[in-house]
Structure 1
Amino acid sequence: MEREIQNDAFNGRVMTDEQMEVLRKQIAIYSTICDQLVLLHNSLSSGMNQIGGGYFDPMMATSSAQRLSSTRHRWTPTSTQLQRLESIYEEGSGTPNPRRIKEIATELSEHGQITEKNVYNWFQNRRARSKRKQPPTTTEADQADEPAVVTTEERRSCGDSGGFESYDHILFPSPDLGIEHLLSRGKFLES
């Protein structure tokens, strides 16, 4: 067997005949699947896209999105519309109800193209802008940024240094003393 592998390597072959046969079968299966997918795609896309049927063609999705974005126009309010929207916002300081939005859109349509959705979105954006411009209020988070004041009582509980007491009670004071020293000290502390 080893000699066959060496001969195959010498002849430039990396796979055995059995492995090559399995690979050929897999390639044939994948080729058949690809052919069937092409046929399915062609049958679904012929006629369906002409009448706007329910078939979604992922290859056409990008071009459809590009066409939509090129025909969509951004609403730019006129100065008169902006002045009126600002004055309405200052009166109520919030987004009006749907009935009022419809009235505002009708009123402002005399000064340029506008939809109810434009009016609604303007009020939402205006409210968000005003919230961002407001100065932050003093909260607990703001107070946490201020340096902490340590009282004398807290210092005494943590030791005079303001931090932890020394570790002398944990460490051995000399190499001659062992665990007995700590145990005897613990008994002393308990009483």
Structure 2
Amino acid sequence: MKYAKLNEDGTFDNEIGPGNIEWDATHFCSASNLTELEAATFRVVPLFETDPPKINEYQLVERDGAEKVGGQWRYKWKIVDITDPATIAQIDVKKAAAIRESKKAQRQAIVDAITVVVGEKVFDGDEVSQGRMARALIALQFANLSSTKWTLANNETVSVTVPELSQALILSGQRQTDIWALS
């Protein structure tokens, strides 16, 4: 619990910090240890914390003392508009960067979900899978092999031919290019 000290006219003076305070020559304690009579004598009231109001990115919110609302003393808030052009420019740059990063993340999620169909086989076509396909095709050429075992998008392991794997790689790359072109 926080506490506030009031002026003689009953208006807010200041917030009282934690710890012991010398109220007078005979009282040295924290606000929470004052009796009701002592609190009234020293004009100490409970201060209820309230959430600051919602603001936009071009505003600041500051605590502006306290006020009595519904019989309780609560924090009072002040909204300050940011008017400094340099600060506004910095906010705009950060906002634009956040939008860019969000779009990149959305685009990456779409790329990560690429699948392509060759014949009746459904291949994962994300960037990692494209790299695996390219390496497998190079290895198959060096080994002069015409097929290899491959795990499809449904986790089924099958034999795929060089033309099937080549087609899956081409389709995956084209799909990724299409996704990047849209964003």
Q: TM bucket by the smaller chain?
A: under 0.3
Q: Greater relative contact order: 1 or 2 (C-alpha under 8 angstroms, separation 6 or more)?
A: 2
Which structure has the highest helix share of the two?
A: 1
**Rg bigger for which structure?**
1
Which structure has the highest strand share of the two?
A: 2
TM-score (norm 2): 0.25
